Amino acid sequence: MTEKVYARNVEALKSGTVIDHIPAGQGLRILRLFQLAEYRERVTVGLNLPSGHMGSKDLIKIENVVLSEEQANELALFAPRGTVSVIEDFAVVRKQKLAIPDTVEGIFACPNSNCVSHVEPVQSHFSVRVTEHDTKMKCKYCEKVFSKDIVVDVR
């Protein structure tokens, strides 16, 4: 199936945001972690959609919601090749390439069970560093360094 054919299968969006090129299997996790259903707007999720260069992918459309640049970049931790398109009147008015953020606040829990961030009134906070083989996340509080996949898997 080509991109064109599948596009007809997913309802067009009048205005809002399309998050595309999410690796298959990450769509629901993104929906949950970024609380995209909490906006009480219509959300359409496509799972395991065919994709030319990715094989298969997930896709999320949210009506009447525009993500901040910060939120969009946080998505890059799950979808390094993801794109976020802002739609107005059925047309793409802005397409954003995602960049891995320098810091991530409040989204993930620290994998270290003895980290104070679990019991004090603070938001989790990681600084992110991309190395040759991995993306590392360092907790601001316990100062432990984790591979991105470990942090992402915790919650």
Partner 1 sequence: MPNPLYRKHIISIPDFTREELELVVQTAAQLKAASRGDLLKDRLLATCFFEPSTRTRLSFETAVQRLGGNVIGFADGANTSAKKGETLADTVRIISSYTDAIIMRHPKEGAARVASEFSSVPIINGGDGANQHPSQTLLDLFTLQETQGRLDNLTVAFVGDLKYGRTVHSLAQALSLFGAKFYFVGPEALAMPDYLCEELDERGISYSIAATIEEVIPHIDILYMTRVQRERFDEAEYKKIQGQFVLRADMLRSARPNMKILHPLPRVDEITTDVDATPHAYYFEQAKNGVYARQALLSLVLNETV
Strand partners, 45: 60
Length of the chain: 155
Binding mask 40-69 for partner 1 (x = CB under 8 A): ------------------------------
Q: Which of 10, 49, 11 is nearest to 27 (CA)?
A: 49
CB neighbours of residue 74 within 10 Å: 24
Choose which of 139, 148, 151, 152 interacts with partner 1 (CB under 8 A).
139
Residue whose pair of structure tokens reads 């799972």 in the numeric block: 47
Which residues make beta-bridge pairs with 22?
A: 58
Is 30 in a helix, a strand, or coil? helix
142: contact with partner 1 by CB under 8 A: yes
Nearer to partner 1, 44 or 117 (CB): 117
The residue among 30 and 110 lying less far from partner 1, judged by its C-beta, is: 110
- 117 is a contact residue toward partner 1 (CB under 8 A): yes
Taking the least distance from each CB to partner 1, the nearer of 89 and 132 is: 132
Residue from 145, 149, 150, 154 in contact with partner 1 (CB under 8 A)? 145
Q: How many residues bind partner 1 (CB under 8 A)?
A: 18
Which two three-digit tokens encode residue 138?
């360092």
> In b/e form, how buried is each residue of 16-50, taking b as 16+ CB within 10 angstroms?
bbbbbbbbbebbeebbebbebeeeeeebebbeebe
Choose which of 18, 115, 151, 152 interacts with partner 1 (CB under 8 A): 115
The residue (of 22 and 139) whose beta carbon lies closer to partner 1 is 139
Residues that bind partner 1 (CB under 8 A): 112, 114-117, 119-122, 131, 136, 139-145
Q: Which residues are annotated as a binding site for Zn(2+)?
A: 110, 115, 139, 142
